[in-house]
Amino acid sequence: MHEFRLPSLGADMESARVVEWLVAPGDTVKAGDLVAVLETDKGAIDIEIFEDAVIEALVAPLDVELPVGAVLATLRGGDDGAAATPSAMPPSATPAAPVAAAAPTPAAPPPQAPPALVPRAGTTTAPGADGFVRASPLARKQAAARAVDLATLAGSGPGGAVLAADVDGARAAATATPRPRGFDAASMRRAIGAAMSRSKREIPHYYLSQAVDLGLALTWLAEYNASVDVAKRLLPAVLLARAAARALAAHPAFNGHYVDEAFVPAAEINLGWAIALRGGGLIAPALRRADQGSLDELMAALRDLVKRARGGGLRGSELTAASVTVTSLGDRGADLVWPVIHPPQVAMIGFGGIATRPWVVDEGIAARPVVNVSLAADHRVSDGHAGSLLLEAIAAALAAPRDL
Amino acid sequence: MNAPATLTYREALKLAIRAAIERDPRVFLMGEDVARYGGCYAVTKGLAAELGEERIRDTPLSESAFVGAGIGAALAGMRPIVEIMTVNFSLLALDQIVNTAATLPHMSGGQFAVPIVIRMATGAGRQLAAQHSHSLEGWYAHVPGLRVLAPATIEDARYMLAAALADPNPVLIFEHVMLYNANGELDPAVTAVDIEKAKIRRAGRDVTLVTYGGSLPKTLAAAETLAAEGIEAEVLDLRVLRPLDWDTLAASVARTHRCVVVDEGWKTGSLAAEISAGLVERVFFELDQPIARVCSAEVPIPYAAHMEQAALPQPEAIVAAARALVRPA
């Protein structure tokens, strides 16, 4: 028998409350299964277990503030006999900070919610004027059985229809005690403050920026979008995310964590994507392996992440998996963002608003869509020259949109 | 009976006919060219010499007359097997089958039974053009008073006839022309089959492919292709087109939540339409996708080989329909 302890979902997290168990004693769980819902500074987060085991007993009481490391449940099988370390971190998770005073949570200047990231009509099931939600009969039956409101789900079926798999992905909203899945703005602000203070105190930042012509990328995007269904259209943010991820693959000194006085490169490129929350919060869950797969898949992952960041249902591992953070201010954002690194990460990339600017082309001046790409990086790990090469690589990736 | 280890569908039918005639003196077979010529698909080749022309009887070229004679023989206590060359020609006997065979037991208040079995070929694929290639079994499946069978396997070809002869009411057996040369083994442990139930020919969890007769091999091929893509298709062979085995149909779709109906008939007013509607009535709340149908193009079946193939349900179309349900883009 061994213990499942309250995981740290970021260095700034000191405590949390279990508000709901998703398993019962005797249940067999597999690595990656959701076991409980925690109320944290970042709102309600679903936490996973990272081993195969049988739940022996649920130890933690509901709705009681518990410190990180507190025993939540006891397990049989799995790691029995192994060191009694909390096993709640995935391999790619942020390495545990030395003290319970580490700090993750988003980064710097709370970026304006990139308006472009709001899922569009056609990908969500917002009821039509008559209140009818497109959903399969099986999805209706399952939603009714689990008290899930179909209108809150994103449909993956034809025309955005909700399918059974979409209901499976959603958790029963109304369990014993219905509970809002929001976040407490004041406590989230305190957590952001703690993380950013630590960042400015400990990390010797340096900053670079470069203006990049997005003409080719946006022309390609417009052509691509004209050739696909409305629901399959891509947003510029996906090109920016993919370009950043590809550049990071070639410049690994910016992708990883600074732990115990040393840089530990990350095996995967998991972009923490800064998402502004309505009501003044900020969260940066991970877009896993953002350098891999098709743009379609990345778009779907981004939509899903934004939806869950705002509507509830983020997983604990998504808050700990980021190896670098990206913020994109979107169409109506400021020209340029100077990021504050999210410890223990070592870099953050910012994209300012895309604006039409005068640009020198072939000795003449043309109006081009331009974005300022900025980098804040940790001088303990890299130097400005390396940072320049990273920005150059992002610019080069955006100049060859077909290869993204 | 010395059933060889492997045999063709045609040989299985012949074994069934011989066994039925040997077992019961009331059983005889009649039709056009069945005796001296051996049957237009050679099912009865050699049987007349073996069993005598009393039991394998050539008839004049009049479907209405010899089907009517068969009905009369059945009313008089015989157990006739009537062979009609193809379902296309059975239209000439439609009055006898629908207005007489199917209705007499009801209209006589149960005083008269019509224990006739009518066999006929159906379907396309042999470049016999529009007047010899249609799949009209769905029309007969519309009619109360008839039992309609579609053997798609060697086993069903071998044993459905005996069960049909044992039925006191008219039974129609549809033999798809592309199955006659199909090879297979007979399980010596099986000596009879039911004519009530559909059968799952391949189990799968992701989608139910409902089919029968000549479309079964194509549907199984499609299921193989889907399996290579990670889609586990369940293949349901209807076997009995009337009355339909709704229990098996509904249970399968309730497990997989998705359904493609493969039917060589035309889509409009088809058996596939009936199955689709019947499933919606029974398991609407188990469906996660609309029911899809793969049917023949709505044209008289063409003669030209490439056009004929293009008009028929093919494995690629079945795969595409199933994939669209399981992995909606």
User: pLDDT of B270-311, one tens digit each?
Assistant: 999 999 999 999 999 999 999 999 999 999 999 999 999 999
- Choosing from B11, B32, B63, B274, the catalytic residue is B63
Under the banding of pLDDT at 50, 70 and 90, the label for residue B244 is very high
Closest CA–CA distance from residue A128 to any residue of chain B (Å): 20
Q: Tell me if A156 and B328 make a contact (CB, 8 A cut-off).
A: yes
Contacts of B286 in chain A (CB under 8 A): 137-138, 141
Mean pLDDT of chain A: 81
For residue B316, is pLDDT > 80? Answer: yes
Looking at the structure, do residues B166 and B314 belong to the same domain, yes or no?
no
Please report which confidence band the pLDDT of residue B58 belongs to, taking 50, 70 and 90 as the band edges. Answer: very high
B193, part of any domain: no
Burial A132-160 (b: 16+ CB within 10 A, else e): ebbbbbbbbbbbeeeebebebbbbbbbeb
Q: What was the pLDDT predicted at A80?
A: 56
Q: Testing the interface with A: which of B253, B281, B288 to mutate, by most A Cβ within 10 A? A: B288
Residue B172: which CATH number?
A: 3.40.50.970
Residue A118, pLDDT > 60, answer no
Q: What is the CATH number of the domain that holds B251?
A: 3.40.50.920
Angle formed at CA B322 by CA A299 and CA B318, multiple of 5 degrees: 135
Amino acid letter, A250:
A
Reported as a single tens digit per residue, the pLDDT across B197-223 is: 999 999 999 999 999 999 999 999 999
Closest-CA distance of chain A to residue B262, Å: 22
B133 in Cβ contact with B88 (< 8 Å): yes
* pLDDT computed for residue A1 by the predictor: 74
Q: Is B192 inside any structural domain? A: no
Strand partners for B7: B184
The 10 Å Cβ neighbour count of residue B200 is: 14
Alpha-carbon gap, residue B114 to B82, rounded angstroms: 13
Does the beta-carbon distance from A164 to B286 stay under 8 Å? no
> Is the pLDDT reported for residue A277 higher than 90?
no
Which amino acid appears at position A184 of this protein?
D
- Chain B residues with CB under 8 Å of A140 CB are 285
Q: Chain B residues with CB inside 8 Å of A137's CB? A: 284-288
Q: How far apart are CA B327 and CA B329, in angstroms?
A: 6
For B232, residues 6+ apart whose C-beta sits below 8 A from its C-beta are B203, B204, B205, B206, B226
Whether B222 and B321 map to the same domain: the answer is yes
The dihedrals phi and psi of A95, each to the nearest 5 degrees, come to -60, 140
Top-confidence residue, B232 or A171: B232
Q: Please calculate the CA angle A56-A61-A67 and round it to the nearest 5 degrees.
A: 100
Residues of B in contact with A163 (CB under 8 A): 288-289, 328
Q: Both B231 and B255 in a single domain?
A: yes
B132 assigned to active site: yes
Domain stop point among B185, B218, B246 = B185
Q: How many CB atoms lie within 10 A of CB A395?
A: 18
- pLDDT tens track for A32-42: 888 888 888 77
**Is the overall model pTM greater than 0.95, yes or no?**
no
Q: Mean pLDDT over residues B146-151, rounded? A: 98
For this structure, is B306 an active site residue?
no
CB-based contact B289 A157, cutoff 8 Å = yes
Domains along chain A? 2-76 (2.40.50.100), 203-403 (3.30.559.10)
pLDDT tens, position by position, A337-357: 999 999 999 999 999 999 999
Q: What is the ipTM of this complex?
A: 0.72
On whether residue B194 sits in a domain, the answer given is: no
**How do residues A77-110 score in pLDDT, each as one tens digit?**
765 544 434 443 444 444 433 333 334 444 444 4
Strands B56-58 and A347-351: unpaired
Strands annotated E in A136-254:
205-213
Do B211 and B308 lie in a common domain? yes
C-beta separation of B150 from B212 below 8 A: yes
Closest CA–CA distance from residue A137 to any residue of chain B (Å): 4
Question: In this structure, is the dihedral angle defined by the CA atoms of residues A156, A218, A386 and A97, taken in order, positive or negative?
Answer: negative
Number of domains comprising chain B: 2
Q: Per-residue pLDDT tens for A139-158?
A: 988 888 877 888 888 888 88
Contact by Cβ (8 Å): B252, B284 = no
B184, β-bridge pairs: B7
| pLDDT digit string, tens, across residues A194-234 | 888 999 999 999 999 999 999 999 999 999 999 988 888 99
Averaged pLDDT for residues A302-327: 87
With an 8 Å Cβ cutoff, are A139 and B287 in contact?
no
Contacting A with CB below 8 Å, chain B residues are 257, 284-289, 328
Q: Could you tell me where the DSSP H helices lie in A16-136?
A: none
| Model confidence at B50: pLDDT above 60 | yes
pLDDT in tens, A351-387: 999 999 999 988 899 999 999 999 999 999 999 999 9
Residues in A lying within 8 Å of B, measured between beta carbons: 136-141, 156-158, 163-164
Domain that holds residue B132: 6-185
DSSP A69-112: T-EEEEEESTTTTS--------TTSPPPPSSTT---S--SS-PP
